[in-house]
Amino acid sequence: MAGQEEQAVKYYTLEEIEKHKDSKSTWVILHHKVYDLTRFLEEHPGGEEVLREQAGGDATENFEDVGHSTDARELSKTFIIGEVHPDDRPKLAKPTETLITTVESNSSWWTNWVIPAISALAVAMMYRIYIAED
């Protein structure tokens, strides 16, 4: 066989990964890496169920939300079987949408003073009418 230093990364497409979502074969994606957790399900301190729910898909967010210990992270490395194919990675990237409310500053600059100006004018006129009526 080839030298041991030659460690080609195995890439899996999302289509392929999605097939491994039952107890016969349970894969999850964490940070673009593919983990085969089939044998780990029963040993997982956090329970089988949470892993099953994520099977065949990206569990990164849930994994991080739990705040797994360094030990857990070390252990997780032993289950890595490959990586998500680079072409498929953009499909995974769904960063928690940070809503950047880009106010169209161009269109609003004039409303910023026109509206107050008109309001002021209206108040001034009402005041005049009020005074005149006296």
Binding residues for ligand HEM, per CB under 6 A? 28, 35, 37, 44-46, 50-51, 54, 59, 62-63, 66, 68-69, 71-72, 75-76, 79
Nearest distance from residue 30's CB to ligand HEM, in Å? 6
Which C-beta is closer to ligand HEM: that of 53 or that of 87?
Answer: 53
Dihedral angle sign, alpha carbons of residues 18, 15, 80, 96: negative
C-beta separation of 27 from 36 below 8 A: yes
Nearest distance from residue 84's CB to ligand HEM, in Å? 15
Distance of CA 23 to the CA centre of its chain: 26
Q: 26: which strand partners?
A: 21
Which C-beta is closer to ligand HEM: that of 11 or that of 79?
Answer: 79
Q: How many CB atoms lie within 10 A of CB 77?
A: 9
Tell me the residue number closest to ligand HEM, measured at CB: 46
Distance of CA 63 to the CA centre of its chain: 12
Nearest distance from residue 72's CB to ligand HEM, in Å? 4
Which C-beta is closer to ligand HEM: that of 26 or that of 85?
Answer: 26
Which C-beta is closer to ligand HEM: that of 59 or that of 84?
Answer: 59
SS3 13: coil
